[in-house]
């Protein structure tokens, strides 16, 4: 009976309950638990140590990491009853839902082993001179491989990217809320002979585009200017055709307050969990997120890329 009482005392702590609920779903390292729970390493390690002594958690080494897993209690230790108590305790914690969302994001990042390799490769690309090799050439090549489609460039600004897309796209609709930007983009497109590029004055939270009419909705460093970014993502879902995709390039959350005055930023970037939540709530599936750029110069802004598909 004493072992049962000891275990019950352990699961009476909210942090330990959260850890156990996560480990019931996935084996995790301390670093992953830190990221999911937004807690310090010492606090998490202390809780894991207690759970390990109680026999509720076991560990194994994987390379440089220690991976922790949930150990279901035996029948002698209360078995099913203790699991039922754990479920009841978890039901009272409002953080559990956010923990599960953060866990899904952590699992996506874990699977993305190949991207880590390409991050290293990208860091070397262009450092040394090699005739004919450049990011511009690579970008132009990839654009040529893009299938013809109808693209909405939401928050297009002067439309430089819109014009790049128009080289290959069936049609590009560039939306911006600045009348001067729209006038400039329209004139530049006309000068360069882009008959498949149209600029429209409007807000990215309510773009002047018919529902179900585009194949790709693109936000390039535009979402952090929206008053209601969640609404902008929802409207992007509405204007996409079934099977259409959304692509978001934006700043990872930072603390450079000066950006509000310097760049008229409404939001200081977004966390991966926030963007993932926007996409899921809007109805997107096949969501993929990655940090695709890290600036070397201070304040070391990072760029987050997120993609999703409209199904049905």
CATH number at residue 221: 3.40.50.150
Specify if 53 maps to a domain.
Answer: yes
Q: What is the mean pLDDT of residues 62-70?
A: 85
What average pLDDT does the segment 68-84 reach? Answer: 75
Residues 150 and 94 in one domain: no
| Greater pLDDT, 284 or 9 | 284
Domain boundary among 64, 82, 111: 111
Calpha distance 195→273 (Å, rounded)? 39
- Domain identity same for 87 and 130: no
Same domain, 87 and 154: no
Please list the residues that pair with 60 across neighbouring strands: 67
The whole model's pTM is what?
A: 0.68
Question: What DSSP string runs through 49-112?
Answer: HHHHHTTSEEEEEETTEEEEEE-PPPGGGTHHHHHHHHHHHHHT-THHHHHHHHHHHHHHHHH-
The pLDDT tens digits for 2-17 are 466 776 777 789 999 9
- Per-residue pLDDT, 213: 97
CATH of the domain at 17: 1.10.10.10
In terms of domains, do 133 and 176 share one? yes
Taking the C-alpha atoms of residue 5 and residue 78, their distance in angstroms, rounded to an integer, is: 10
Q: What is the pLDDT of residue 2?
A: 46
Task: Confirm whether 38 is domain-assigned.
Answer: yes
pLDDT tier at 83, thresholds 50, 70, 90: confident
Segment 159-179, tens digit of pLDDT = 888 998 998 899 999 999 999
What is the rounded distance in angstroms from the CA atom of residue 267 to the CA atom of residue 271? 11
Q: What is the pLDDT of residue 111?
A: 67
Asked, for residue 304, whether it belongs to a domain, the answer is: yes
Question: Which tens digit of pLDDT belongs to each residue from 232-262?
Answer: 999 999 999 999 999 999 999 999 999 988 8
CB distance 164 to 143 below 8 Å: yes
Q: Is residue 117 part of a domain?
A: no
Same-domain status, 211 and 85: no
CA distance 101 to 131: 46
The C-alpha atoms of residue 275 and residue 293 are separated, in whole angstroms, by 17
46 with 156, same domain?
Answer: no
Q: Is residue 119 part of a domain?
A: no
The pLDDT score that the predictor gives to residue 133 is: 66
First CA to last CA distance, the chain = 54
Say which DSSP state 1 is in.
-
Among the candidates 42, 77, 111, a domain finishes at: 111
Q: Are residues 177 and 43 in the same domain?
A: no
* Sequence-separated (6 or more) residues with CB below 8 Å from residue 194: 163, 166, 172
Q: Which of 111, 146, 166 is the last residue of a domain?
A: 111
Say what the pLDDT of residue 61 is.
85
Does residue 299 form part of some domain?
yes
- Residue 116 maps to a domain: no
| Helix and strand counts by DSSP (H, E) for the chain | 13, 10
Boundaries of domain holding 215 = 124-310
Is 205 a domain residue? yes
Residue 44: what pLDDT?
94
Check whether residue 98 and residue 132 sit in a common domain: no
pLDDT at 24 over 80: yes
Confidence band, pLDDT 50/70/90 cuts, at residue 122? low
Same domain, 219 and 152: yes
Q: Tell me how far the alpha carbon of residue 46 is from its chain's centroid.
A: 30
Same domain, 203 and 293: yes
Same domain, 150 and 93: no
pLDDT band at 81 (very low <50, low <70, confident <90, very high): confident
Is the pLDDT confidence value at 115 over 60? no
Note the Cα 50 to chain centre separation in Å.
Answer: 33
> Do 135 and 250 belong together in one domain?
yes
Number of domains in the chain: 2
Of 118, 87, 113, residue with least CA distance to 21: 87
Count the residues in the chain.
312
């Amino acid at each position: 009976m004493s072992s049962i009482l000891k275990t019950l005392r352990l699961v009476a702590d909210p942090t330990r309950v959260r850890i156990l609920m996560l480990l019931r779903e996935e084996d995790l390292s301390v670093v992953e638990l830190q990221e999911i729970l937004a807690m310090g390493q010492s606090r998490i390690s202390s809780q894991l140590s207690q759970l390990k002594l109680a026999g509720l958690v076991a560990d194994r080494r994987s390379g440089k990491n220690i991976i922790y897993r949930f150990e279901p209690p035996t029948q002698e230790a209360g078995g099913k009853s203790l699991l039922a108590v754990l479920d009841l305790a978890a039901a009272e914690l409002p953080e559990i839902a956010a923990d599960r969302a953060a866990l899904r994001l952590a699992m996506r990042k874990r699977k993305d082993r190949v991207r880590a390799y390409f991050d290293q490769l990208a860091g070397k690309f262009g450092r040394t001179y090699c005739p004919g090799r450049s990011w511009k050439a690579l970008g132009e090549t990839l654009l040529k491989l893009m299938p013809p489609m109808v693209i909405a460039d939401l928050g297009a600004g002067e439309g430089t990217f819109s014009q790049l897309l128009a080289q290959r796209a069936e049609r590009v609709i560039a939306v911006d809320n600045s009348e001067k930007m729209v006038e400039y983009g329209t004139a530049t497109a006309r000068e360069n002979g882009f008959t498949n590029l149209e600029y429209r004055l409007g807000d990215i939270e309510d773009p002047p585009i018919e529902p179900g009419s585009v194949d790709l909705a693109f936000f390039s460093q535009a979402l952090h200017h929206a008053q209601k970014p969640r609404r902008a993502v929802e409207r992007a879902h509405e204007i996409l055709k079934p099977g259409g995709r959304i692509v978001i390039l934006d700043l990872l959350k930072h603390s450079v307050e000066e950006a509000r005055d310097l760049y008229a930023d409404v939001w200081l970037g977004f966390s991966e969990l926030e963007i993932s939540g926007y996409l899921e709530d809007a109805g997107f599936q096949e969501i993929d997120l990655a940090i695709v750029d890290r600036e070397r110069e201070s304040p070391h802004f990072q760029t987050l890329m997120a993609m999703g598909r409209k199904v049905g």
